[in-house]
Amino acid sequence: DADVTQTPRNRITKTGKRIMLECSQTKGHDRMYWYRQDPGLGLRLIYYSFDVKDINKGEISDGYSVSRQAQAKFSLSLESAIPNQTALYFCATSDLGAGSSTDTQYFGPGTRLTVL
């Protein structure tokens, strides 16, 4: 089974609709992230969470919100979807302990979102 799962894998919606993308992980990591990928731009950070009570905006958080329901679950919401939010969305997790050198991010398979 995959360590980081995302649902749905594909979604087509209309402008103005509310959309939620979900991410679950079985790695036991404290840190979770949401990125979007656009052609020619690489991945850009939307939000990140270092634990259930710690949520932070990334570089492109406008138009998005998140919820960390549990250590293993991190959801991304588009309150009112617009066409320029059409992108590939990735969830990632990482674990960093004191003095650890293992702060590597592990990615889910992605959700392809199309906003018409």
For another protein, the closer CB: 17 or 86: 86
Please say which residue, 36 or 75, places its beta carbon nearer to another protein: 36
Please tell me the count of residues contacting another protein according to CB under 8 A.
Answer: 25
Q: Which of residues 5-24 bind another protein (CB under 8 A)?
A: none
Residue 107 touching another protein (CB under 8 A): yes
Which of 21, 81, 110, 115 binds another protein (CB under 8 A)? It is: 110
Q: Per-residue string for binding with another protein, 57-96, x by CB under 8 A?
A: -x-------------------------------x-x-x-x
Q: Residue type at 15?
A: T
CA distance 56 to 49: 6
Structure tokens at 17: 């609709």
Which of these segments, 18-26, 60-68, 69-77, 105-113, binds another protein (CB under 8 A)? 105-113
**Full DSSP string of 27-72:** S--SEEEEEEEETTTEEEEEEEEEETTEEEE-TT-TTEEEEEEETT
Closest CA to 36 of 25, 45, 24: 45
